[in-house]
């Protein structure tokens, strides 16, 4: 059975404003009080039922977001920050809501596109990690 939160089936799931605000509230709480994750997930389950979302899928997206956030916090990598913002969208936290989360942007200039640098180094980052680790055309993937 395909659920509407299965990314292989539908990449643009629409949920209510209420759901979006709940996700922001949940994340804000969990980021400050990680011990509240389990109770937050119980509430999330109820919200998912109201929105006809498959809870297991949304939980997976939430867990992935939190895991990536932990990686980002330990590295302050601009690349991880961009992917974190992408993953937030899978948790129904769009660009405008992401700004409300207590997540600091990486230090320095972390623009995606570098007009100056190109270097052929497979297996190494081309130039700097700030340029998506050397990926060409990342903006075509929504980065």
Partner 1 sequence: MEDTCWVCNDITMTQPSLAAFHVLWTKPSVVSARPFGMTDSEILTMIISALMWQKLNGTIKLYTDNTGYAFIEKHGLLHLWNGGVDAELLEMNNYPIDPEIFWAAGKLMALEVQYTPCVMLDTDLIIMRPLYELLAQTAITALHPEKLEEDVYLSPALLKQAAGFSFPSCYNWEVLPSNTAFLYIRDESFRNYYLQESKRFMFYNKERPMEFVSQMVFAEQRLLSICAHDCRLSVDHLLADPFSSSNETVIHLWGFKRLLRENANLEAVYCKQLIKTIGKELASNGFFQDYIQSHFSYE
Q: Which residues bind partner 1 (CB under 8 A)?
A: 1-3, 6-8, 11, 54, 56-57, 60, 64, 67-68, 71, 79-80, 83, 86-87, 90, 112-115, 117-126, 129, 131-143
Least Å distance between CB 21 and partner 1? Answer: 23
Least Å distance between CB 132 and partner 1? Answer: 6
Least Å distance between CB 118 and partner 1? Answer: 5
Q: Nearer Cβ to partner 1, position 44 or 126?
A: 126
Q: Nearer Cβ to partner 1, position 19 or 61?
A: 61
Distance CA 121, CA 127 (A): 9
Q: Quick count: other Cβ atoms within 10 Å of Cβ 85?
A: 19
Q: Nearer Cβ to partner 1, position 3 or 36?
A: 3
Q: Nearer Cβ to partner 1, position 21 or 112?
A: 112
Least Å distance between CB 46 and partner 1? Answer: 20
Residues in the chain: 143
3-state class (DSSP) for residue 103 = coil
Least Å distance between CB 130 and partner 1? Answer: 11
First to last CA, the chain: 30
Instruction: Note every long-range contact of 36-39, with CB atoms under 8 Å and residues 24 or more positions apart, other chains counting.
Output: 37/66
Q: Nearer Cβ to partner 1, position 18 or 108?
A: 108
Return the exposure string of 94-133: e unless at least 16 CB atoms fall within 10 Å of the residue's CB, then b. eeebbeebebeebeeebeeeeeeeeeeeeeeebebbbbbb
């Amino acid at each position: 059975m395909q659920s509407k939160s299965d990314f292989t089936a539908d990449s643009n799931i629409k949920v209510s404003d209420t759901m979006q605000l709940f996700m922001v509230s949940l994340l804000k709480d969990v980021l400050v009080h990680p011990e509240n994750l389990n109770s937050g997930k119980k509430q999330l389950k109820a919200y998912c039922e109201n929105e006809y979302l498959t809870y297991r899928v949304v939980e997976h997206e939430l867990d992935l977001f939190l895991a990536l956030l932990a990686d980002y916090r330990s590295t302050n990598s601009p690349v991880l920050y961009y992917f974190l913002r992408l993953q937030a969208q899978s948790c129904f936290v769009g660009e405008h809501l992401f700004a409300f989360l207590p997540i600091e942007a990486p230090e320095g200039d972390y623009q995606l596109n570098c007009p100056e640098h190109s270097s052929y180094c497979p297996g190494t980052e081309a130039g700097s990690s700030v340029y998506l680790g050397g990926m060409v055309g990342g903006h075509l993937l929504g980065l």
